[in-house]
Chains A and B, each alone.
Chain A
Amino acid sequence: MGGGTVSRFGTAPVVVHDLAVLDNRIVGHAAPAGGPLPCGLRLEADGAIIAITRATGFSPDAAARGLRRGWCGVTLEGLDVAAALADSMQVYCVTSDRLLLETAVPAPSFVSDAPLTVEGLLDAMRREGCGITPASLLPFAQATLRRQGLHAMLDATYRTLLGRAADADVVAAWQADPPPEAAQAAIAMIAGSIEFRDRPGHMVPGPFHPQFAYDRGLIDD
């Protein structure tokens, strides 16, 4: 089938990858040589495209290997669909069409999921590219503080965790009397706030998430 219908996808060629079947999905990481774009992967079976995704999640393995600070994790779903079509499946790089993995399709899980609520559907769609803990944002907050200053770091913390601009009175107070370890303090303040606790899903957007507002340059340092 190839990637002819997947144009303008905004991805870079895969240079390093490590993929495996785990719990009826393909998981691992895929990293480019560099640059701001993530890698894109495509799952096929019997020539049909089953799934397309970007490697924008957090992978502890990739972090341990020093790849993209861990932000090149990938999960490919759809193995039950693949099982209906073929005995083997392939994973390709979307950008280069290079074959990255060919493996047997595991037996279908036959797990009948309970229907999602609409809120659950929206939450599932928001979660791609999110991290696990607010602390994972610290290197980006520190880089933003270093490169763009206190106001920019505070505003980015609000926008990333709360989806809105920083409170003007907080910005003024911090600029008048900056706390020590300001990046750490900003994340702790917002992550500990009632407003963050009340937000659906308590999401921590990673550097490829649309709500991520810190300096992304760190991903490529």
Chain B
Amino acid sequence: MEIGALIGEAWTGIPNVVAILAEAALHDPAIDWAFMIDTIMVPPPLLERMLADRSGAAAVAALPAQAWAGGGVVARAASVVFTHGKPQRGRFAREAIVLYDLSPLLTPQFHEAAGIRHFADHIRGDIETSDHIFCISRATAGDVAAYFGVPPDRLSLILPGVRFDPADLSAARLLPPVEPYVAIIGTLEPRKNGRLMLDHLVRDPDFAARYRLVFAGRDGWLNEKARLLDAAAAAGVATDRILFTGFLTEREKTALLMHAAFCVYPSFFEGYGLPVLEAAVLGRLTVCSNSSSLPEVAPATSLLFDPLDPDDFARALAEAEWRTAEAPLAPALCHLLEQAATADAARAYPPIARWAAAQ
């Protein structure tokens, strides 16, 4: 299993999905998995350390020595699952790839030129040299079939899930009441469409008096944070009614989602949209864009709207406000634990294990 996505220091999004797949594989007694980052083998103790730290920092320190020492080479006869792009192609007997979305090709206006070039240079070769393709949503599978002509028998769906620490759920559940706020979760980048939330304040200035707006996520690209601040100033919103949290740990994010009046996920395009599922498990409604994969994620707790239609967004926000006012108290801890178990992230692994085991 190639796990290069785990090389970063702090994991969010795709690295979180890859970490769960790697963890499930590591503990699967039925398959003799080996792990590599690019072409360098990752010894199981190093992977365990990375999973415990939820960070690739240990790998950054250890892999150069591992490479110089020879590092072991995965046999050409192996079946290899590439969990995020293929640093090598056509080298192994069977190759599979996990595809998250085709966003750089389908919505290039939300990406930087270098990222689009890198994706465009690789995706076709990655798909052509893969015996099987695992897609994280029906929307992504549909795009791969439509744009690359991949037949259904080479495509499978793997359903991403969530992983909450029971101690985090417990600690968050027992906090005192928190001021009213809405949580907008995700990296600050134009594709996430956070600007829509601030534009709404021009038509409903009182919204920011009823709720603080909490943008939860690290700074992304294309100067989105500066754009959001400009939009807030243009809407006349007091700066203390808007909070940019920066990167949050899973523990902080759990509490933030759990105590939000409701969540807002206005993204133009998502391969899956894990924050919508996380909010659902925590008993929170999400005012959610109806684009790409998002209607698939948690339809029962999503108030869908067209991300290009401010009127439709205002309607969904109004519905969230009255449904939140009538909502029962926060779910009991037992209920939260059961919900988390139902949507556990390990559910993505079995289709991959079945493919790896089949010869």
Chain A interface (Cβ < 8 Å from any Cβ of B): 1, 5-7, 9-10, 40, 48-54, 77-78, 81, 113-122, 124-126, 128, 210
Asked whether any CB of chain A lies closer than 8 Å to the CB of B185, the reply is no
Please name 17 pairs of A and B residues whose Cβ atoms are closer than 8 Å in the assembled complex, sorted by A.
A9-B166, A48-B333, A50-B333, A51-B170, A115-B177, A117-B178, A118-B214, A121-B178, A122-B255, A122-B256, A124-B171, A125-B175, A125-B255, A126-B249, A126-B252, A128-B171, A210-B53
Nearest-Cβ distance from residue A166 to partner chain B, whole angstroms: 13
B interface size (C-beta, 8 A)? 37
Alpha-carbon distance between A1 and B333 when the two chains are bound, in angstroms: 12
Query: Inside 8 A of B54's CB, which chain A residues have their CB?
Result: 210
Q: Which 10 A-B pairs have the closest CB atoms?
A: A113-B176, A5-B337, A52-B170, A77-B174, A52-B166, A116-B178, A115-B177, A125-B255, A51-B170, A6-B166
> In chain A, what residue has the closest Cβ to B212?
A118
Alpha-carbon distance between A134 and B248 when the two chains are bound, in angstroms: 23
B174 touches A116 (CB 8 A): no
B333 touches A115 (CB 8 A): no
A113 touches B256 (CB 8 A): no
Query: Inside 8 A of A124's CB, which chain B residues have their CB?
Result: 171, 175, 255
Alpha-carbon distance between A91 and B179 when the two chains are bound, in angstroms: 32
B251 touches A125 (CB 8 A): yes
Query: Inside 8 A of A126's CB, which chain B residues have their CB?
Result: 249, 251-252
Alpha-carbon distance between A128 and B198 when the two chains are bound, in angstroms: 34
Query: Inside 8 A of B300's CB, which chain A residues have their CB?
Result: none
**Complex interface bits, B326-339 against A, C-beta within 8 A gives 1, otherwise 0:** 00000011100110
Query: Inside 8 A of B53's CB, which chain A residues have their CB?
Result: 210
Asked whether any CB of chain A lies closer than 8 Å to the CB of B245, the reply is yes
Alpha-carbon distance between A54 and B340 when the two chains are bound, in angstroms: 19
Alpha-carbon distance between A6 and B165 when the two chains are bound, in angstroms: 9
Alpha-carbon distance between A49 and B334 when the two chains are bound, in angstroms: 6
Asked whether any CB of chain A lies closer than 8 Å to the CB of B172, the reply is yes
B177 touches A51 (CB 8 A): no
With contacts defined as CB atoms under 8 Å apart, how many contacts are there between chain A and chain B in the complex? 95
A122 touches B252 (CB 8 A): yes
Query: Inside 8 A of B254's CB, which chain A residues have their CB?
Result: 125
Query: Inside 8 A of A50's CB, which chain B residues have their CB?
Result: 333
A1 touches B179 (CB 8 A): no
Select which of B52, B167, B175, B243 is within 8 A of A54 by beta carbon: B167
Chain B interface (Cβ < 8 Å from any Cβ of A): 52-54, 165-172, 174-179, 181, 212, 214, 243, 245, 248-249, 251-252, 254-256, 259, 332-334, 337-338, 340-341
Select which of B177, B256, B338 is within 8 A of A118 by beta carbon: B256
Alpha-carbon distance between A160 and B146 when the two chains are bound, in angstroms: 48
Query: Inside 8 A of B245's CB, which chain A residues have their CB?
Result: 118, 122
Alpha-carbon distance between A21 and B214 when the two chains are bound, in angstroms: 37
Select which of A5, A52, A116, A120 is within 8 A of B341 by beta carbon: A5
Query: Inside 8 A of A210's CB, which chain B residues have their CB?
Result: 53-54, 249, 251
Query: Inside 8 A of A6's CB, which chain B residues have their CB?
Result: 166, 337
Nearest-Cβ distance from residue B239 to partner chain A, whole angstroms: 14
Nearest-Cβ distance from residue A155 to partner chain B, whole angstroms: 10
Nearest-Cβ distance from residue B216 to partner chain A, whole angstroms: 9
Query: Inside 8 A of B338's CB, which chain A residues have their CB?
Result: 5
Query: Inside 8 A of B248's CB, which chain A residues have their CB?
Result: 122
Alpha-carbon distance between A35 and B199 when the two chains are bound, in angstroms: 53
Alpha-carbon distance between A124 and B170 when the two chains are bound, in angstroms: 13
Alpha-carbon distance between A51 and B168 when the two chains are bound, in angstroms: 10
Alpha-carbon distance between A77 and B167 when the two chains are bound, in angstroms: 11
Alpha-carbon distance between A221 and B170 when the two chains are bound, in angstroms: 31
A121 touches B174 (CB 8 A): no
Alpha-carbon distance between A27 and B256 when the two chains are bound, in angstroms: 26
> In chain B, what residue has the closest Cβ to A47?
B334
Query: Inside 8 A of B256's CB, which chain A residues have their CB?
Result: 118, 121-122
Query: Inside 8 A of B167's CB, which chain A residues have their CB?
Result: 9, 40, 52-54, 128
B333 touches A116 (CB 8 A): no
Query: Inside 8 A of A128's CB, which chain B residues have their CB?
Result: 167, 171, 251
Query: Inside 8 A of A9's CB, which chain B residues have their CB?
Result: 165-167
Alpha-carbon distance between A193 and B44 when the two chains are bound, in angstroms: 39
A53 touches B171 (CB 8 A): yes
Select which of A10, A53, A54, A113 is within 8 A of B177 by beta carbon: A113
Nearest-Cβ distance from residue A130 to partner chain B, whole angstroms: 12
Query: Inside 8 A of B52's CB, which chain A residues have their CB?
Result: 10
B337 touches A121 (CB 8 A): no
Alpha-carbon distance between A203 and B337 when the two chains are bound, in angstroms: 29
A125 touches B171 (CB 8 A): yes
A121 touches B259 (CB 8 A): yes
Query: Inside 8 A of A115's CB, which chain B residues have their CB?
Result: 176-179
